[in-house]
Amino acid sequence: MKNALPCPFCGCKKARYQSDMPEHVEGHLSFVECDRCGALGPWTDQGRIRALEYWNRRAQEKLP
């Protein structure tokens, strides 16, 4: 998957887009899944690009 950050849990650099139905079906849900540990990004009904954005979102470190 283009531009997907490594898995935040295992560091795997391979993640794949998944969807419960074809994208042209209204109301389909999608997410990104790690190929190694199976971690899932947040589910979204806003398509592939949004699923990738959610997968790439990381918690911000606190500054001292």
Q: For residue 59, is pLDDT > 90?
A: no
**Per-residue pLDDT band at 61 (split at 50, 70, 90):** low
Instruction: Report the share of the chain in percent with pLDDT over 70.
Output: 86
Give the model's pLDDT for residue 43: 92
Contacts 24+ apart (CB under 8 A), 48-54: 48/17, 48/19, 48/23, 51/17, 52/1, 52/3, 52/4, 52/17
What's the pLDDT tens digit per position in 16-44?
999 887 766 777 899 999 999 999 999 99
**Per-residue pLDDT band at 58 (split at 50, 70, 90):** confident
